[in-house]
Structure 1
Amino acid sequence: MAIYDYKVLDRKGNEVSMADFKGKVLLIVNTATGCGFTPQYKGLEELYQKYHDKGLEILDFPCDQFGHQAPGNDEEIHEFCQLKYKTSFDNFKKIEVNGANESPLYTFLKSQKSFAGFTGCKGLFMRLFACLMDKNYKKNSNIKWNFTKFLVDREGNVVERFESTVEPEKIADKIEKLL
């Protein structure tokens, strides 16, 4: 299967075909509104403003699997993002990214790009934290925390995975190359 074979739900529960995004560069992110990484919404919005007209789409999938840091319903999450971070990209329906109820889209994404490693100043903390949750965390493709990002090219190829510790602005050059 290819990424364009999947369907997802928008925040109102309407089915959206990933094929609707053919020809676009995609940044697919599992997010949370009450996480230490939540301020990354600001950087995501900056990327969206800078590159949307050139073909970038940000697909925001709220996920409550990590410390229950995405409370509220889909509309409340959307309002929070718009009010607090002035986001103009849309949020999709809240999903699970690991386990028996994980979104098939995320099953696909993880099959394409496995865990990429924690970096930056928060990297050490996240390595220790992840090891407490799963001693073999480095050896599986599970999403480790909120704000894991997948970059998809215009042909639907998953080209890179960025873990939570990678700030959105650090991805700008990679997006530019794909645009």
Structure 2
Amino acid sequence: MKAVQREVLFVNLYEYSFAALEGGSLSLERYRNQPIMIVNTASECGFTPQYASLQRMYLDYRQSGLVVLGIPCNDFGEQEPGTEEEISRLVREEYGVTFPMTAKYSIIGPRTHPLFRDMVEQLGPDILPRWNFHKYLFNRRGQLVEHWPSATQPDDPGLLHEVARNLQSWSL
């Protein structure tokens, strides 16, 4: 994918919040100054095994500041039909996920979460995922720097290069 032109994007990730998968609020402000990989997820998708690779990425890079954030979404093929409790049980028990997860959200259509709505307004509709497990990397300033389609595995060398590059610019 082509790198997102930073000067075009005025969306600041840290201004958004979600409901957490297991209850409560999940303000992205709590991750200020950390790079964040956001992934729209689904439990009954052919890409669902990517949870394991995302967890490995999170474990490998969290001490350096990376946050992986899963956003369950039923927008593509209705492949996330479960409740928050069912989703939580699956990701924790089947894939050992410890990275933060939000409640289920729409990221396309009339009930789109404000983050995705604002990205479309500023970058156009091509910024939206075409399927589950689309990956977005935001830098430590909360700006989108790159995104990858579902078929790009979390351990893809190009993706990991971008993660490492953004971690190198991270500081306490």
Q: TM-score by structure 1 length?
A: 0.80
Match of 2:146 in 1: 160
Aligned residue for 2:155, secondary structure, equals helix
The question of 1:36 aligning with 2:46 is answered yes
Q: How big is the shift at 1:111?
A: 4.7
Q: Is the 8 A contact 2:69 2:99 kept in 1?
A: yes
Q: Which residue of 1 aligns with 2:26?
A: 16
Which ranges in structure 2 are unaligned for 5 or more consecutive residues?
1-10, 168-172
Is the contact between residue 45 and residue 87 of structure 1 (CA under 8 Å) also seen in structure 2?
Answer: yes
What is the CA–CA distance in structure 1 between the aligned matches of 2:95 and 2:120, rounded to whole Å?
A: 28
Deviations 1:94-121 (A, max 9, x none): 000101101001223445656xxxxxxx
25-34 or 104-113, which deviates more: 104-113
Contact 2:35 2:140 survives alignment (8 Å): yes
Structure 1 residues 156 and 24 mapped into 2: Cα distance closer, same or farther (>3 Å)? same
- Cα separation, partners in 2 of 1:40 and 1:110, compared to 1, 3 Å: farther
Matches for 1:15-94 after TM superposition, within 5 Å? 15-94=25-104
- Alpha-carbon distance between aligned partners in 1 of 2:57 and 2:122, rounded to the nearest angstrom: 23
Please give the alpha-carbon distance, in whole angstroms, between the structure 2 residues aligned to 1:60 and 1:140.
20
**Cα offset for 1:20?**
1.1
- After TM superposition, give the deviation of residue 165 of structure 1 in Å: 1.0
- Partners of 1:96 and 1:103 within 8 A in 2: yes
Count of aligned residue pairs for this structure pair: 155
1:174 aligned partner, one-letter code: E
Per the TM alignment, residue 141 of structure 1 is displaced from its structure 2 partner at its CA by 3.3
CA shift at 1:143, angstroms?
A: 2.0
User: How far apart are 1:16 and its partner, in Å?
Assistant: 2.2
In the alignment, structure 1 segments of 5+ residues that lack a partner are: 115-138
Q: Deviations over 1:27-67 (max 9, x none)?
A: 00100010011111111011001001110111100001111
What's the counterpart of residue 162 of structure 2?
174
Q: Identical aligned pairs, as a percentage?
A: 33
Contact 1:26–1:153 (CA under 8 A) maintained in structure 2: yes
Does the aligned pair in 1 maintain the 2:40–2:72 contact within 8 Å? yes
Once residues 95 and 127 of structure 2 are traced to their aligned partners in structure 1, the CA distance between those partners, rounded to angstroms, is: 30
Q: Distance in 2 between matches of 1:150 and 1:111?
A: 16
- Runs of 4+ deviating beyond 6 Å: none
* Structure 1 contact 3–108 (Cα < 8 Å) conserved: no
Matched, 1:4 2:18: no
Q: CA deviation at 1:142?
A: 3.1
| Larger RCO (alpha carbons 8 Å, 6+ apart) | 2
RMSD: 1.6
